Structure 1
Amino acid sequence: MTTLPTRRFGRTELSMPVLSLGGMRFQQSWSDLEAKAITAQSQQLLQRTLERAVALGFRHIETARHYGSSERQLGWAMPDCPDPGRILQTKVPPQQDPALFEAELELSMQRLGVQRVDLLAIHGINRRDHLVQTIRPGGCLEVVRRWQQSGRIGHVGFSTHGDTDVIVEAIETDAFDYVNLHWYFIRQDNEPAIAAAHRHDMGVFIISPTDKGGHLHTPAQRLVALTDPLHPIVFNDLFCLRDARVHTLSVGAARPEDLDLHLEAVSRLDHAQALVSPIEARLHQAELEALGADWLNSWRQGLPDWQTTPGDINLPVLLWLHNLVEAWGLDGYARARYGLLGRAGHWFPGANADALDRDVSEEELDAALGASPWRTSIPARLRDLRERVGGDRQERLSSA
């Protein structure tokens, strides 16, 4: 069995491998299927992926109650693939009624076929009300503390797709031992949350750096050229792991060979800074040439949030997608994200630009953009983005 490098996972004191096996992409279905509906072919694929991951040192396995059939299938596979050092994590969303939360927790244990998990994340503290549901007297965290006292849960953390200020607020409660959050090359706005987690000696787990980090499993050709000689997955992994405050990255493998590029990144980890810096400079130069310094330095200024924008248009996200397309050619990624807006609820809130010129006039948008130095050019940029990546509606996933 190979041993991956480990990092101390914050105050949990766990020795966490720098790569974790995420259970989001190798399950059969996003529906929580009945046992009889799971095919032998699907289970064999998961079994092969798990076996190879364990042999390569992926001791940390993480899944979630609402990752479809993932918990059930992992529960079947793990006894046939033992690992005495396994660190098992699942995630359960908060509920207004803690009894419902506890019932979901029980179901997770049943599906996984275990009596204990090493790590439990409150799944999706994306808004302040989710945080309140978790930490209020009599809330979900009291259920977790009772389970911890009985030995059924090791450490408690939270996962989040929320705004940075909500994440920092949750961290500052000091109620959690670790955090699962988004932070990678194309999305670095959660830097204040990384810093806060470090101050609180929390474990830091990076969610979906390959998929949400730019569809790097099917990378845009312009991005491939810009990250040469590294594959975009290798570059992005090294970008994240060169920061000692980051402890592990989720590898969302759909098949055994999906592990290979991440292992290449780990093999180069000792030279991460030297490998990443020239590529990072090249990417920033491409961004500068495509978008201009004035835009890059000020495009966020004066943007209203989606709740106060006509049609709930999520301007910060849409203009970020515009930048990704123009600078690095991430059309496929932007198409998926654009199509998800308006369908993902609090996992990816707000609406895309389809309403512009249909339900929202340019004059109405202009009034909302009164504080933006780019108010006159933003409508045209939104139309260009819509023309380039619109028309592909996405189904909401809890992992959005």
Structure 2
Amino acid sequence: MEYRRYGRTEINMPVITCGGMRFQQSWSDMPLDKIKPGGQANLEAAIRFSLEMGANHIETARGYGTSDMQLGQVLPSFNRDELIVQTKVCPEEDPKLFLENFEKSLAYLKLDYVDLFSIHGINDASLLDITMRDGGCMEVAQKLKEQGRVRHIGFSTHASNEVICQANASNLFDYVNLHWYFVNELNWEAVEIAHKNDMGVFIISPNDKGGKLYAPPEKLTELCGDLHPMQWNALFCLSRPEVHTLSMGISCPQDFDTHLEMLEHYENAQAVMAPIEVKLRAEMEKALGKEWCSGWWKGIPEWEELPNGVNVKEILRLFTYAKSLDLVDWGKMRYNLLGAAGHWFPGQKVSDYDKSQMREKLSESPFVDQIPDILTEAHALFNEGQLKRLSES
């Protein structure tokens, strides 16, 4: 395993971590005696394998159903000083409920403290406000830190770059879990602010939300050559010193295999990754034009400002990579969550919006004349009916 200093936490963080949102039995709480022995054995095997290979960062959340309960059956059997345990709790209007949810997670984990405590899903300005305001969730987290029950405080987010930048600039958080990878470079400014403030930077879902790369299209596979697309994307991220670790949401021990092979290229990440990046960007420019690829997002307001709440920026992002690199299945997976995932993936699909009003709102975009037709094409390419988030399916 390779490790990086996790910002001001001074934790020696493995560059791939064991994410605990896919190997639990249920997305809802249930009695311990209802946990199936086979499922528990698989989870424990995954944890043991993870620790054996040096990925000693174990991540869970109160919102991951039985994950923290099931982890509590195995984590206490290891040397606590060798574990880096992270739990996450969603912000609440009532900070007492936020505290209760933390207490439940810690009790399920059967630990005296967690190394990393995340405020889970600061996904918009209102959730940032109930976290940061006087008497809010951040004050609860800071008291837990004073009590020694939390070592470091961070947050996870699916928010716009603007909201993440605001949270990072507060300098109150020790680390951030956010989305940034090849098919989503829009949050780089937030990463830079985190780096300036010496925060740990943890990349969420580089394989699933990062392109459904565990089932890549033939075109992307061919362009990546000898590397699996998951390996190439990991090297793309880890070639940046500002990035410290990538979350592997595993369901069984074998899910680590491809990334363990990726580590063979770790010392030469930039040199190995760069020629493939050139090929990918050239293919994108061939399909969509250099001007589009260098600025399709410019002048696009956030979804709240647009007619019918259509999430134009997100739809254009999905379209850009699907159209050029054949990431259509990924585009469908993400597009059909719009309108069904709340603040975790906000905004709406393309609908019968007021076209003149939309043109007015998009007037700062250099592609204002093209976007209506692209939205129509994207809807035809992706639309298959609403999906549910994994936690609700």
Scaled by the length of structure 1, the TM-score of the pair is 0.94
Cα distance between partner residues in 2 of 1:16 and 1:302: 37
After TM superposition, list the pairs within 5 Å mapping 1:216-231 onto structure 2. Answer: 216-231=213-228
Aligned position for 2:272 = 275
Aligned position for 2:201 = 204
Cα distance between partner residues in 2 of 1:63 and 1:105: 12
Contact 2:76/2:111 (8 A) holds in 1:
no
Tell me whether 1:237 sits opposite 2:234 in the alignment.
yes
- 2:118 alignment partner, SS class: strand
- Please report how far the alpha carbon of residue 185 of structure 1 lies from its aligned counterpart in structure 2 after TM superposition: 1.2
Q: Unaligned 5+ residue runs, structure 2?
A: none
2:377 to 379, 384, 388: 384
- Please report how far the alpha carbon of residue 126 of structure 1 lies from its aligned counterpart in structure 2 after TM superposition: 1.5
Aligned position for 1:327 = 324
Cα distance between partner residues in 2 of 1:266 and 1:230: 12
Letter in 2 for 1:217: Y
- Please report how far the alpha carbon of residue 64 of structure 1 lies from its aligned counterpart in structure 2 after TM superposition: 0.8
Contact 2:50/2:253 (8 A) holds in 1:
yes
Aligned position for 2:73 = 76
Letter in 1 for 2:378: L
Cα distance between partner residues in 2 of 1:226 and 1:77: 41
Aligned position for 1:338 = 335
After TM superposition, list the pairs within 5 Å mapping 1:137-152 onto structure 2. Answer: 137-152=134-149
- 1:268 alignment partner, SS class: helix
- Please report how far the alpha carbon of residue 364 of structure 1 lies from its aligned counterpart in structure 2 after TM superposition: 4.7
Aligned position for 1:173 = 170
- Please report how far the alpha carbon of residue 397 of structure 1 lies from its aligned counterpart in structure 2 after TM superposition: 4.7
Contact 1:158/1:180 (8 A) holds in 2:
yes
Cα distance between partner residues in 1 of 2:392 and 2:144: 25
Cα distance between partner residues in 1 of 2:243 and 2:109: 27
Aligned position for 2:244 = 247
- Please report how far the alpha carbon of residue 275 of structure 1 lies from its aligned counterpart in structure 2 after TM superposition: 0.6
Cα distance between partner residues in 1 of 2:374 and 2:93: 40
* Runs of 4+ in structure 1 over 3 Å off: 79-84, 361-373, 397-400
Cα distance between partner residues in 1 of 2:364 and 2:3: 47
Tell me whether 1:46 sits opposite 2:46 in the alignment.
no
Aligned position for 1:105 = 102
- 1:205 alignment partner, SS class: strand
- Please report how far the alpha carbon of residue 24 of structure 1 lies from its aligned counterpart in structure 2 after TM superposition: 1.2
Contact 1:290/1:326 (8 A) holds in 2:
yes
Cα distance between partner residues in 1 of 2:285 and 2:85: 43
Tell me whether 1:393 sits opposite 2:390 in the alignment.
no
1:55 to 32, 41, 52: 52
Q: Unaligned 5+ residue runs, structure 1?
A: none
Scaled by the length of structure 2, the TM-score of the pair is 0.95
- 1:32 alignment partner, SS class: coil
Cα distance between partner residues in 2 of 1:163 and 1:305: 8
Aligned position for 2:6 = 9
Contact 2:59/2:86 (8 A) holds in 1:
yes
- Please report how far the alpha carbon of residue 289 of structure 1 lies from its aligned counterpart in structure 2 after TM superposition: 0.5
Letter in 1 for 2:179: H
- 1:387 alignment partner, SS class: helix
After TM superposition, list the pairs within 5 Å mapping 1:279-290 onto structure 2. Answer: 279-290=276-287
Contact 1:31/1:68 (8 A) holds in 2:
yes
- Please report how far the alpha carbon of residue 7 of structure 1 lies from its aligned counterpart in structure 2 after TM superposition: 1.2
Aligned position for 1:91 = 88
Cα distance between partner residues in 1 of 2:33 and 2:181: 39
CA 198–298 in structure 1, closer or farther in 2 if over 3 Å, else same = closer
